[in-house]
A and B are shown apart, each in its own frame.
Chain A
Amino acid sequence: MMRFLLLFSRQGKLRLQKWFTPMSDREKKKIIRDMTTMVLARQPRSCNFLHWKDLKIIYKRYASLYFCLAVENQENELLALEVIHRYVELLDKYFGNVCELDIIFNFEKAYFILDEFLMGGEIQETSKQIVNRSIEASDMLQETMEEYMSKPAF
């Protein structure tokens, strides 16, 4: 099973965190610190896998963002890499050429997309079409609520 997924920038700024098992805030902060220092210190063209405590860390860089996924020991590393890639594809499809700013300004969407794709640390739906369809459906629900549009900002 997957334990957590972190997205952070080259400067080590955290952009998204998803924890699949309960953890105290202190533990989370420590893990975030460990992951960013460990992954950012890696040389280019190293392999994408690391061992950390009893977990496997799989990371990959897309443009300015690092995606860092921790899985349990018996999980398949290569497929974990493709979990990351599939998530990037889903973000890309939704935002159209996704960039770091999209994820900063629409963090809640990034979470919703992730929730359609993964659940409880397991893959829920691997079909890109189905995930996209359900995200679009929820946006439709949103857009029909015209009253939102008339609200003043702030």
Chain B
Amino acid sequence: MPAVSKGDGMRGLAVFISDIRNCKSKEAEIKRINKELANIRSKFKGDKALDGYSKKKYVCKLLFIFLLGHDIDFGHMEAVNLLSSNKYTEKQIGYLFISVLVNSNSDLIRLINNAIKNDLASRNPTFMNLALHCIANVGSREMAEAFASDIPNILVAGDTMDSVKQSAALCLLRLNRTSPDLVPMGEWTARVVHLLNDQHLGVVTAATSLITTLAQKNPDDFKTAIVLAVARLSRIVTSASIDLQDYTYYFVAAPWLSVKLFRLLQCYPPPEDGALRSRLTECLETVLNKAQEPPKSKKVQHSNAKNAVLFEAISLIIHHDSEPTLLVRACNQLGQFLQHRETNLRYLALESMCTLASSEFSHEAVKTHMETVINALKTERDVSVRQRAVDLLYAMCDRSNAKQIVAEMLSYLETADYSIREEIVLKVAILAEKYAVDYTWYVDTILNLIRIAGDYVSEEVWYRVIQIVINRDDVQGYAAKTVFEALQAPACHENLVKVGGYILGEFGNLIAGDPRSSPLVQFNLLHSKFHLCSVPTRALLLSAYIKFINLFPEVKATIQDVLRSDSQLRNSDVELQQRAVEYLRLSCIASTDILATVLEEMPPFPERESSILAKLKKKKGQSALPDIDDSRRNVNGSTEHSEITDTTNKSSPSLLKDLLATNRPRPSSFSPIMHFARTMDSTPSFTDMLSLSSAPTAGASLLVDVFSDSSTLTSVDVSEEHFPRFVCKNNGVIYENQLLQIGLKSEYRQNLGRMYIFYGNKTSTQLLSFTTSVTTNDVLKTQLNVHAKAVDTIVEGGAQVQQILNIECLSDFKDAPVLGIQFRYGGTLQNIAVKLPVMLNKFFQTTEMTSQEFFQRWKQLGAPQQEVQKIFKANHPMDTDVTKAKILGFGVALLDGVDPNPANFVGAGVIHTKNTQVGCLLRLEPNTQAQMYRLTLRTSREPVSQRLCELLSDQF
């Protein structure tokens, strides 16, 4: 045991820890722990009331056991009891246990809140600090509700001790982060700003953290902080004689506070006031000058603290992006660091220069360091430094140096660490595309990429090269020739085969004149790779073959022979087999004209953000956000649909789908139709599904949905999974399991609606005794009339039947009808229940109005119960177009030019029910910085406002 005599020293605890450390094996440790747990449990349960000391000791032991990684399921109550002890150490252990072990949704929160309330009211600073710490540590919503309004008072009260002020500021900051809507802005905010003037530097530091966070969200409310922050900063940075006592850290004056003040200033543009601006510039210059002075200490702490301030000052200079001289000085300073012997500084210089590269003032200055950076790529021993070098090269790349940088990156790729290869591949692909003057260079670069790092070339990259080749006819011939030559290599990467198959299938005719690349030679070359490839590639090659049949009638017989062989026609893979069968059949029965139409050259892809760029963004930290493609697809159908999501989680059909059909519904592309006919093979349903295109893209969106192998629910519980998806759209798949797929198409006019339900039998056998029923609960019955037409009792294998529902809205409602389905499959009775997406907003009619009319009505609907407001976090990327589409899909008219802030959305509509009409105004304010929205709804009826708010706020 170590000789620690500090504190009270709970001997029992020390003995226990020693025992654990002496355990020779994991088993022995678990045995010892179980023994201890049994002992503690019996003590806690025992008749004899435990004194505070014992309770504290046992709670502490439990905590230790938990920190070893074992689960603890008791003792919480005892810990809560300790909170109300008037002995500091007991209280302290109780709070520690709670902050480590109690998660935010515990049912003990109310008891804990009680104890906290007492401690906050105790006026004992030590106890108050413990309580504030606990709130900050747990930070649950319930705690925020209980205390968010008290803490500002503690913070600004004149008689609060400094240490409590510090805790209160940071506690408030924490609550503002977790539950911003509960922290009321108010009179205290102005007083908080004045804490920047406080005597106590600890208070200033804590307050600066709080103000920075608040200012990020509401910059206008905290503008006064700029003057105070500059003044404070200037006093710290420029006056040499000031004595900051213990806030000087290794000869650097208050580095933490300086950095925080610089950060606070980064919430704002450069000050407009000339005097203030020059004072700030003076500060920044002083910091830059100090970097050139000899160090006051050899300790690394000194240089770290000093450079921390320097880097933060540079960040502010970059943020302002307005003083060319400062920007160039910053760049030169970073240039010095690029060759510094400290790895940390080289790393940070590379990182910081990345942002400098994007400023027009310093871009050229950054470029002068290119050789150094390329050298870093070759010589740095640390992979994370090399990665920063790659980032910087990417950032400094422009038309003038693109060829050199791409070449350097390609050559680095040959030896690059596996962990960063994929990212380098993406970057090279993007730069090559962005700065391609002649596209032959682009094609060469991508093929080189595949050659050097084929395994790291993701699908996005080779999709992209194909998109570009298809869209630019000046490069098609070159591309065909180049892939043809590349395919000559005895061993080539499968990605090359994919690109080759696709490009030759489309543009092989452009090189077929040369006898060295005659159609037959091309075909044989491709087919020689066939057997080495995976199923998706083979599927793609089969598509290339059928394209060949159209392009070159002279090889038709050869290809038909290949398709006819047993290895194709009877392939064990269903996708390959099906393609072989269908293509063979198509080539036999279709006339040349039909073949030419069906197999026409692919039309150009619509221009849009490069899918590679999206992928890179995704890799770079936006991963926390939910899938962008998913949200877009829901609203816009397939126009925004990109390859990323589908290809990663689906198998072969998606491959074909992505390349041949995703970007828009194309009559000329045959495969989706074939797929389609297969899935839903009865003719009426087929037309039904295709005629869904009320919006130009809806048909395609259904296509996508049809193929998505989503959930396989089997329980009888009411399925609500897809319900929210239908708030802003009317068509799609509402339910799917292995047996059955249910698609919906609905139309609404005023208070009436009609819903077409399509039941698709996914199996090859009949579904018998097929019955459906629509139920509404007692309340809903009086609000909504739903009438279902009868449906056939047998659904043939692979077939689809349709059912029509007529819906009438009598008055506003909240619940949704439930569709029950019953059938027999293979002798067992199947029960399915699905919540039908009949929602109040479906009965919207849009209302166009002028800005004046809008505000007039807005004012009329000003009673407190008529307005509902909700602030919520964005669950999807905050894309203006997607948001617009969702609001339109919700059913209201989007009113332009009403809101003074163009970033906000304003809508208006009328809900039609049989009994009444309810006008509705809507305002949605995005805050991209905080990733939050505020939604405000005003209607004449409170329940309508409530319900609409619930429905819409889940959509963003």
Contact = CB atoms under 8 A, between A and B. Distances in A.
A138 B88 contact: yes
Nearest to A106: B4
B202 A130 contact: yes
Contacts of A107: 63-64, 67
Contact of A122 (B170, B257, B305): B170
B12 A115 contact: no
A119 B171 contact: yes
B259 A79 contact: yes
A115 B99 CA distance: 11
A139 B88 CA distance: 10
Interface string B47-61: 000000110010010
Interface in A104-154: 104-109, 111-112, 115, 119-130, 134, 137-139, 141-143, 145, 147-149, 151, 153-154
A48 B1 contact: no
A77 B259 CA distance: 11
A106 B7 contact: yes
Contact of A54 (B133, B263, B348, B621): B621
Nearest to A123: B256
Contacts of B257: 126
B104 interface: yes
Interface string B248-261: 01000011110100
A35 to B, nearest CB: 14
Interface string B13-44: 01111000100000000000000000000000
Contacts of A115: 133
A65 interface: no
A119 to B, nearest CB: 4
B307 interface: yes
Nearest to A51: B384
B135 to A, nearest CB: 9
Contacts of A108: 60, 63, 93, 96
Nearest to B68: A14
A95 B6 contact: yes
B205 interface: yes
B758 interface: no
B917 interface: no
A135 B811 CA distance: 65
Contacts of A121: 174
B301 A82 contact: yes
Given A47-B344, A127-B201, A148-B53, A73 B385 contact: no
Given A47-B344, A73-B621, A145-B8, A125 B202 contact: yes
B348 A77 contact: yes
A112 B4 CA distance: 16
Number of chain B interface residues as a range: 35 or more
A63 interface: no
Interface string B115-138: 000000000001000001100111
Nearest to B312: A76
B167 interface: yes
Interface in B332-387: 343-344, 346-348, 381-382, 384-385, 387
A40 interface: no
Contacts of A14: 67, 69
A143 B9 CA distance: 10
Contacts of A77: 308, 344, 348
A49 B53 contact: no
Nearest to A55: B621
Nearest to A48: B344
Interface string B434-464: 0000000000000000000000000000000
A46 interface: yes
A122 B304 contact: no
Nearest to A137: B126
B571 to A, nearest CB: 41
A99 interface: yes
A99 B2 contact: yes
A47 B212 CA distance: 29
A138 B125 CA distance: 12
Contacts of A139: 6-7
Contacts of A153: 11-12, 15
Contacts of B381: 43, 45-46
B305 A151 contact: no
Contact of A127 (B137, B247, B304): B247
A85 interface: yes
B209 interface: yes
Given A22-B140, A120-B173, A124-B206, A47 B103 contact: no
16 contacts: A45-B381, A47-B382, A47-B384, A78-B304, A79-B259, A79-B305, A79-B308, A82-B301, A86-B249, A104-B21, A107-B63, A120-B171, A126-B256, A142-B89, A148-B8, A154-B16
Interface of A: 1, 14, 16-17, 21-22, 24, 29, 43, 45-51, 53-54, 73-74, 76-79, 81-82, 85-86, 94-95, 99, 101-102, 104-109, 111-112, 115, 119-130, 134, 137-139, 141-143, 145, 147-149, 151, 153-154
Q: Which 5 interchain pairs have the tightest Cβ spacing?
A: A154-B12, A120-B174, A153-B11, A78-B308, A54-B621
Given A47-B343, A105-B17, 17 more contacts: A21-B139, A43-B382, A78-B305, A78-B344, A105-B14, A106-B4, A108-B63, A120-B170, A123-B205, A126-B205, A126-B257, A127-B246, A138-B126, A141-B89, A143-B7, A151-B54, A153-B11
